[in-house]
Structure 1
Amino acid sequence: MKKTLVLLLCLSLFVSCKNESKTTTETISQSESKNAQVLKGEFVYFADAAILQTKEDVYGIIINDKMHELDNQAKAYKKESTDMVPVEIKGIVKPKTEGEEGWPFQIEITEIVKVSPPLAQDATTIKIKNTNN
């Protein structure tokens, strides 16, 4: 009888802990979607990949209408298609989905705050060029 009681107690604890874990995960995802962050960095969209490089991290950008709007604004400052343009955006940072290629975190842009011209390049700037012309 004691063994059955202990087994039922352990089973109920296991089930209740499992439910708490799901609730916590759901709460975190809901709070993430409500909390957009302001991020400053250099933006580039090239060959179906959009990237924001900040001082601390590199983020993949979810390709949607806002990303295309940002790319159109950035094109005004690009001399070459691979040029990176300084931007300030507001967006939701999300971990990438499992099994998907790319950077560990993605940004879903919610607002474009500012797009600036790139800094002047000097002799120390590294340029990648295609030599197969």
Structure 2
Amino acid sequence: MRNILYLLVFALSFSACKKESKQEEETIEIIEKTIANDGLTLIEGDFIYYEKAAVLQTKTGFFGVVLNEKTKELAEKAKSFQKENTDMVKVRVRGLIEPKAANTEGWDYIVTIKEIVSVESLTPEENEIIKVSK
């Protein structure tokens, strides 16, 4: 009986290590790409897309997002995680951060998305929206 218990614990710990190892490998790959000399930055935050505008909110601030093919691809992926079109989604992207052009409206910095790393839904607590109806 004792041997079976040890065998079970060993098997469970081995399978748990295997899952963590895969996640660690993916994280290491992303970090290596980010450190690479390609000028791109890994950005994690909440993303929302409207017909003519996209915004990325991170822990440090807001970024305007350049509307390009990758942004549209990200918006399509985000739709499956949104209950309403006003819902934000949690994203990890690699992109180029630049200051906005002088004498233009918008956020101080803009992001040009070059690579989509992950997309997931926010928890209801993270996605609080105040709705005003007439």
Q: TM-score, normalised by structure 2?
A: 0.67
CA deviation map 1:32-69 (0-9, x unaligned): x9400000000001241100000011100000100000
**Pair 1:80-2:84 in alignment:** yes
- State the distance in 2 between where 1:78 and 1:57 align: 22
- State the distance in 2 between where 1:68 and 1:52 align: 14
2:93 corresponding residue in structure 1: 89
Q: CA RMSD in A?
A: 1.9
Shift of residue 127, structure 1, vs aligned partner: 2.2
- The one-letter code matched in structure 2 to 1:99 is N
- The one-letter code matched in structure 2 to 1:74 is A
The count of corresponding residues between Structure 1 and Structure 2 is 98
5+ residue gaps, structure 1: 1-32
- State the distance in 2 between where 1:112 and 1:105 align: 19
Q: What SS does structure 1 have at the residue aligned with 2:86?
A: coil
2:17 corresponding residue in structure 1: none
- State the distance in 1 between where 2:128 and 2:89 align: 15
2:130 corresponding residue in structure 1: 128
- The one-letter code matched in structure 1 to 2:56 is L
Q: What SS does structure 1 have at the residue aligned with 2:121?
A: coil
**Pair 1:104-2:108 in alignment:** yes
Q: What SS does structure 2 have at the residue aligned with 1:116?
A: strand
Shift of residue 119, structure 1, vs aligned partner: 1.2
